[in-house]
Amino acid sequence: MIETLAPAPVGRRPSSVLARNVGVLAGSQIITWCASLAWALFVPRALGAHGTGVFTLSVAASGILTVLIGLGTRPLLVREISIDPSGASRLIPAAIVLRGLLALPMLVLLGAFAHSGKFDGEQVVALYLGWGVCVLYVLFEPIQAGLQALEKMHYLAYSDILTKTCVSLVSVALVVVGFRAIGLLSLTVIVLAVVLILHVGWWRKNFTIDWKITTAELWSLARGSVPYLGFALFFTFYLWIDSLMLSVMTPPEVLGWYGLPTKLFGTLMFIPVILSTAWLPRLAAAATDGDQALWRVARAPLQIVVALSLPVCVGVVLVASRLISLLYGPDFTESVPVMTWLALSVPPMYMNIMVNQILIARRQQMLWTKAMAVACVINPVLNVLLIPYFQRTRGNGAIGAAMTLATAGMGLAVLAARSFGFAPAIVTGLVVYPVLAIWLGAVSLQELGQLLEIVQARKARVAVAPGIDS
């Protein structure tokens, strides 16, 4: 059995616990935001577009490997332990063993990718360091899931502060004295190793663990995790597959133009991430009492993310050009249209994150997984079309990658809206979205016309020779 500090059932804990957890997570976010701001102000400019591209390649590889190795088990662990804390003694070690088993074949796949692409020596080293970062994270993430399920959010805050603040601030110091992307990635590996050791201590303090894991338990955990994999694939696959495709299809500096906005875009997700982290245990517990209880709990976070996403979107769009020009200089001028497109995807991304948590609580995550499966096919196809087009016409394939990401987020928001009765608002968004993009100069009417001509020409060829993809 699990030993904890006598936690009450999640659904019956006072509201003050939820408020405290939101406050703790928000406080840690303020600290890490300040550190990330220091990183954003100094590191990309010091690395330049090429070095930022190398760094982004490693982060992209790490992000995708984290999804493939992690199998989306974290929300499953949170939900199951929230409902029955005694299950943590076997679920957490089972998740760690399963991830360890998956790490080695993923290393082989990464090696094949690294040596089959047109990567230089620095990029290959960056890819392997990305695997190291991924493995350290996936080993302590199940422990974080257990602590989150018990609503002990202060441990998550400690980990977040140590990881992001230490890496960000030390990275600034390192680039000042001449270190480049490989040095910064090596620092991340060292810091995460320390964080893993800390998690082992927190684990021993809060749980008793049974390491007698059977093959049947591992298979059961892997099978149960599959429905949760969809959202993880969407958020990570859609955020980073573009980077991997850019690394193969364009010069390194183009990946740097994309990497800087995606780094900034990731920081904009802190609002839904905080709310979803704090509310998921409550949503899972409320769902056991029926849909009415669930919707009472879910209404507040949904309203908050929808309300806050709009000013975030508009604010970033309005300041993107001046901000990037002021902070990063002419080397990153081509990042402006990329940042604009990513900003336009903030509202649907916010809603997608919270809706996913509600579906997890209702045990309906498979609905989201099906939508993700379609999206994961469409995204690379759009990238194959748009990256070369914008690379050829504007010398910046990163615009095509950003446009693909934004389009995917909007499409999934429409699917979510159909489930929650928001269709009219989203349809309006679909009209306003391209109009705003044209007005802000992210894409011109002439370019849209050229794209339309390409689509019409392809449709005409398909009509003449059906079944043949020209």
DSSP 142-156: HHHHHHHHTT-HHHH
Q: Residues near 289 by Cβ (< 8 Å), separated by ≥ 6?
A: 11
For residues 406 and 403, give the distance between their C-alpha atoms in angstroms, rounded to a whole number: 5
Length of the chain: 470
Q: Tens digit of pLDDT per residue, the chain (470 long)?
A: 333 334 444 445 555 666 676 676 667 777 877 887 788 888 998 999 899 999 989 988 998 899 889 988 888 898 888 888 888 888 999 999 999 999 999 999 999 998 887 788 899 999 999 999 999 999 999 999 999 888 888 888 888 888 888 888 899 999 988 899 999 999 999 999 999 999 999 988 888 888 888 999 999 898 888 777 766 776 677 667 788 888 888 888 899 998 888 878 877 887 888 888 778 888 888 888 888 888 888 888 888 887 888 888 888 888 888 889 888 888 899 999 999 888 888 888 888 788 878 888 887 767 766 766 677 777 788 889 999 999 999 899 998 888 887 776 666 666 655 555 444 444 444 444 444 444 444 445 454 455 445 444 544 544 444 433 33
Sketch the domain layout of the chain as residue ranges. 10-461
For residues 90 and 1, give the distance between their C-alpha atoms in angstroms, rounded to a whole number: 9
Q: Is 131 exposed, middle or buried (CB count within 10 Å of its CB: 0-12, 13-18, 19+)? A: buried
| Whole-number Cα distances in Å, 106 to 62, 64, 102 | 11, 10, 6
For residues 127 and 232, give the distance between their C-alpha atoms in angstroms, rounded to a whole number: 20
The DSSP element (H or E) to which 202 belongs, if any, is: helix 181-206
Q: Residues near 426 by Cβ (< 8 Å), separated by ≥ 6?
A: 413, 414, 417
For residues 291 and 289, give the distance between their C-alpha atoms in angstroms, rounded to a whole number: 7
HSE at residue 155, side-chain half, CA atoms within 13 A, is: 23
Q: Residues near 145 by Cβ (< 8 Å), separated by ≥ 6?
A: 73, 74, 75, 77, 78, 81, 92, 95
Helices (H), 288-334: 291-328
For residues 187 and 210, give the distance between their C-alpha atoms in angstroms, rounded to a whole number: 33
Q: Is the Cβ–Cβ distance between 196 and 321 less than 8 Å?
A: no
For residues 317 and 340, give the distance between their C-alpha atoms in angstroms, rounded to a whole number: 5
Give the pLDDT confidence score for residue 449 in this predicted structure.
52
Q: Is the Cβ–Cβ distance between 397 and 391 less than 8 Å?
A: yes
Q: Is 7 exposed, middle or buried (CB count within 10 Å of its CB: 0-12, 13-18, 19+)? A: middle
Q: Is the Cβ–Cβ distance between 225 and 72 less than 8 Å?
A: yes
CB atoms within 10 A of CB 198: 16
For residues 343 and 263, give the distance between their C-alpha atoms in angstroms, rounded to a whole number: 12
